[in-house]
Structure 1
């Protein structure tokens, strides 16, 4: 495995990209693989380690290359994190041969506010200003799939207001509708896998319900899983990602990675 850190700089704001690139071998069927860019959560005020390397190791065990982006958070404001994610996607596209990546199969994945970042990128990647800011073509910025885990979606009734306040600062009123995902799904939004829990005590699961309805309206394929119980921020929901207080285990939710693996394998083999 190639495991290395790369600095992603946008206007002097540095983010940390960690690569987990699986080795090729004459013994293995897969020489080139899709890659999944993981954006951990943290309310745009921090970046959670519980949703970083534990997730990367799980995805790697499924046979995927992984990149974890520790993006800039408050007091850094929108659109810096989105542009950092775009720079990562274009970097992976440009270096696909070096890393044995199938460059047409780059997915973005996010948890909570990281889910909002992944979704924001997925609805805006094809806007001209993104390519202009990054000095690349829109083709190099295209995400082929998005994977959202208990995501922040809406800035409306069921909003996690803290995430939007940290992201937008004094431009909250000006930009909150533009960054409310369910209002901005479009034909270039990639197919989606999303899951949430009904008892999420931080980001109401209505966020995901609104996303599903919007994707359906635009005929964007979506696989969704709503679990009956579970707090916010479960990550893998097992002992690998539990916190120092042994919080974060929810056995009924652990199956989400099995569902994801099946969904990803269909994508890989298309």
Structure 2
């Protein structure tokens, strides 16, 4: 396995220069019948309310994808006091970096998924809705296909800035700038177009931190635009479950799993489908 770290430095308008960290987990390639296997890749965006990036939703997720032959990358993007669109530009730049090196790392450049958790789910959905928008050109250039995500995986995502929002995420993302236009832009169920890639979404009915309506709003918007979507709502469980096992849940006994823990197996099938 190749494992290394890459810094991504971007300065957005009105913001100080920020540096994001991209951690790569790339399986070794083995010659089989004279050819090398080309693999899909996934860019992982941990949650943390745009206040920090959770370690529980980073490397453990990457290693699970890695065991199934998916090249995994974890982006520790810039949280507050960095504001929108800093983290978004970092995530799109990371996709471009992965695609640039696709041939070297035996990655299928047309199979780069993005997987986000909670506020990282909002960032993931932002990547999916804004990747081809002109207001980002001054930060990441005009070659939109270079930064295009091919699939989205949204784990208990923050989506809306409306009634069912996670207010802490919005406060950290937007700061004191709560103009109606920007709040509307951050409400991603209203930004869905046919250009959003196929999406996999999972949430829990009992989530009291980020209500399940966030997932339902985004899924409904995707259906309206005829974008393929797979949605799973687990009847039990709170927020921030990650893998839903003893590796990421300190109160669980060895070998214990939550009912939601099969989400990642479903997501891996979604990537390869």
1:124 aligns with 2:130: yes
Rounded to whole Å, the distance in 1 between the matches of 2:243 and 2:38 is 26
- Unpaired runs of 5+ residues, structure 1, are none
Cα shift readout 1:234-268 (whole Å, capped 9, x = no counterpart): 0000011124x559x652111112222222221xx
After TM superposition, the structure 1 stretch with the greater mean CA deviation from structure 2, 65-74 or 120-129, is: 120-129
Rounded to whole Å, the distance in 2 between the matches of 1:9 and 1:71 is 10
Q: How far off its partner does 1:136 sit?
A: 4.8
Q: How far off its partner does 1:131 sit?
A: 3.4
Rounded to whole Å, the distance in 2 between the matches of 1:255 and 1:40 is 19
Cα shift readout 1:148-170 (whole Å, capped 9, x = no counterpart): 00000011110001101100012
Within 5 A, what are the aligned runs for 1:1-270?
1-11=1-11, 12-27=17-32, 31-174=37-180, 175-243=182-250, 245-246=251-252, 251-266=258-273
Q: How far off its partner does 1:224 sit?
A: 0.5
After TM superposition, the structure 1 stretch with the greater mean CA deviation from structure 2, 30-39 or 3-12, is: 30-39
Q: Please report the TM-score for the alignment, with normalisation by the length of structure 1.
A: 0.94
Rounded to whole Å, the distance in 1 between the matches of 2:204 and 2:258 is 13
Kept in 1, the 8 Å contact 2:156–2:203? The answer is yes
Rounded to whole Å, the distance in 2 between the matches of 1:75 and 1:9 is 15
Rounded to whole Å, the distance in 1 between the matches of 2:98 and 2:269 is 24
Rounded to whole Å, the distance in 1 between the matches of 2:175 and 2:268 is 37
Rounded to whole Å, the distance in 1 between the matches of 2:130 and 2:257 is 34
Rounded to whole Å, the distance in 2 between the matches of 1:257 and 1:178 is 29
Cα shift readout 1:61-88 (whole Å, capped 9, x = no counterpart): 1110010000000111010000000110
SS at 2:184 equivalent: coil
After TM superposition, the structure 1 stretch with the greater mean CA deviation from structure 2, 119-128 or 92-101, is: 92-101
SS at 1:20 equivalent: strand
SS at 1:69 equivalent: strand
SS at 1:105 equivalent: strand
SS at 1:47 equivalent: coil
Kept in 1, the 8 Å contact 2:10–2:139? The answer is no
Rounded to whole Å, the distance in 1 between the matches of 2:141 and 2:127 is 16
Rounded to whole Å, the distance in 2 between the matches of 1:42 and 1:185 is 24
Kept in 1, the 8 Å contact 2:153–2:200? The answer is yes
After TM superposition, the structure 1 stretch with the greater mean CA deviation from structure 2, 122-131 or 26-35, is: 26-35
- Unpaired runs of 5+ residues, structure 2, are 12-16
Aligned pairs, number: 264
Q: How far off its partner does 1:27 sit?
A: 3.5
Q: How far off its partner does 1:130 sit?
A: 2.1
